[in-house]
Structures are given as C-alpha cells and as structure tokens.
Amino acid sequence: MTNQQAHPKGKTKVLLNLLGTDSNAFSIMGLFSKEALKQGFNQEWVDEVLEEARSKDFNGLLSTVMAHTTTEFEDITPEDDACPKKYQPTFWGGKDPLSEETARLSEEYIPSEGEPLDANGDLIPVLEFFRNVNRIYYDLYNNGLGNDKRDECTYLTDNLDLVFPFMEHQHEKSIIFDILNFIFDSKEKEDGQDPTCDWCAGQYGEVEEVGTGEYDEDDNEITEDEWVDCEYCDGMGTQEEECIDFLNWFESTPSRMRSFDRLASASVRMVLDAEQKGTLTKLEKDAK
C-alpha cells in the first residue's frame, strides 16, 4: 500500500510527538498504532509500517516510525532547511552573536560549583538547562565527549519543552532527542555496561495471553497468561553492542551538528528572555 492510499483524505504522516514517550520499542509502536488508527489511517498501512520497523534494530525502528510521523509544531520540512555538507559549528566557532552572551550569562547567573538555585534554595530550571547544554557542548569540542555526561543528557531530555519555544526550526526536536539518547547510550557502553534492551526496556520480556487448546461453551478458546522472554535480548534485559565513536557519529551527519548548535543558541535566548522578564537574580560576587 502506498502512502497516498494510507488515509482516505490522502494524508501520509501521523500527527504524533514522540518526545516524552518511553524509549522502548513496544511503547513507540503501540503509540504509533493507536494514534494512526484514531486519525483514520488504514489498518493495513499501519501493519506494514510496524512490520518494517520490527525488522530493524532500535535505531532503525525509531527512524521508520519517525519517517511516518509529523508534529503540529512543524512549519518547515527538512528539505526546506537543507544543511551544508561541510557544516562548521557556528556557536562554538564564535560566529553566532549569541555565543558571546554565554560567557556573560554564565558569569552572572551560574555558580562555579553546584546547581543554580533561587533565594529559597529551589532549582531554577531555565538556568539548569542552560548550564547542562553548555557542559555537554564544552566537553564535546574540548575533550571529544570524554567525560560522563549522562546526568546532563537526562536533565535535557526530561526538560526539552523548556527550550522548544525558542527554537526556530521545530522539526529538529527529534534530531536533538536522538543526539541526547545517543550520548547517554555511548557512555553506558564505555563503562562496560551492556545497554538496556530497546525492545523490552530491561523488563526481560512480557506476559502474553496464549491459547490452551481448550474451549468454553461458546466455542471460544480459553487463554492463560504466560511469560514470554524478549526475543531481541533472549530475556537478558540488556543487549550487547559495539561501542560507537560518538564524534564520528556526530560529525557524519552535519544536521546533527547544526541542530546541537541551534540548541545551544536557543538555550541562550531562553535565559535572555527570563532575564528580560526579571525572573532571574544575579549571583553575589562571593557566590562564584
């Protein structure tokens, strides 16, 4: 079935935002199927997409699903925002005007140690997001991401909605989400830890209803719950993968580099907006 035949009104993509979804295969496929059918897509088309997704590893599965989804916030397509093949980071290179503001904002609002807190001792999310973006960005271009940035990735992934209003190209959120998850997984592998299985999310498998071969008085087969090991990890809950060089992965696709550039720039705009609204308090000199 072609994409044009997928929907009675000719729609070719499911309106779906995957951000915030549990990052395991079952959740992603289940949400895609539910939303597609609710929006009037043909069951046959949905089954074909999911069959293609199941035939790949997790990254391939995610790419397949994302290729058939869109979000209500998209105002341009990736083709309209083509990235140069030899893209050079503008934010780190100082070509972005906002890169100069980073030093000032860090000096005035970010403590040299610990999290940015308000007068009541509560975390300031906007500043913490800004701090974590810059910690990853700095380590990437100074140490090749040699330091463990899993905590930073987790915070950014959980709070991406803070910065999206300040991003000019909304289609990039899926790219950024992919980057942050890849950083996290690559550090898991460097630690010698087998990453959590993408299919069962470390649950080893699932309980399924299976037929018993016996039937009730209405001729319906009687079922019972049975534990079934995850086929992808053989019930181990983890998967063995070769450690991928993050910098090679990052630089192999210029759009990833540019998207992270834009994330850094957007985080500055976010803090500048809070500063203009008067919701931030500058650090006292001895707080640095």
For 173-197, how does the pLDDT look when each residue is reduced to its tens digit (9 = 90+)? 777 877 887 777 666 655 555 556 6
Domain residue spans in the chain? 3-70, 89-195+241-287, 198-235
Using pLDDT thresholds of 50, 70 and 90, give the confidence band for residue 288. Answer: very low
User: Is this prediction's pTM over 0.85?
Assistant: no
Percent of the chain with pLDDT over 70: 69
Question: What pLDDT digit, counting tens, does each position of 49-91 carry?
Answer: 999 999 988 878 888 888 888 754 333 335 566 677 777 777 7
Percent of the chain with pLDDT over 90: 19
Mean pLDDT of all residues in the chain? 77
Check residue 63 and give its pLDDT.
83
Question: What pLDDT digit, counting tens, does each position of 226-285 carry?
Answer: 767 776 566 666 655 544 566 666 666 777 788 888 899 999 999 999 999 998 988 875
Check residue 77 and give its pLDDT.
38
Using pLDDT thresholds of 50, 70 and 90, give the confidence band for residue 131. Answer: very high
Check residue 72 and give its pLDDT.
47
- Distances, alpha carbon 4 to alpha carbons 15, 19, 34, 72, 208, in Å: 16, 26, 20, 20, 35
Q: Give the pairing type, strands 221-229 and 205-215.
A: antiparallel
- CA–CA dist 272, 107 (Å, integer): 14
- CA–CA dist 128, 109 (Å, integer): 10
Question: What pLDDT digit, counting tens, does each position of 190-220 carry?
Answer: 555 555 665 566 565 665 667 777 888 888 8
- Distances, alpha carbon 97 to alpha carbons 131, 134, 169, 206, in Å: 18, 16, 18, 51
Report residue 197 as tokens.
């299985």
Check residue 73 and give its pLDDT.
36
Say if residue 131 is exposed, middle or buried (CB neighbours under 10 Å; 0-12, 13-18, 19+): buried
Average pLDDT over residues 114-137: 93
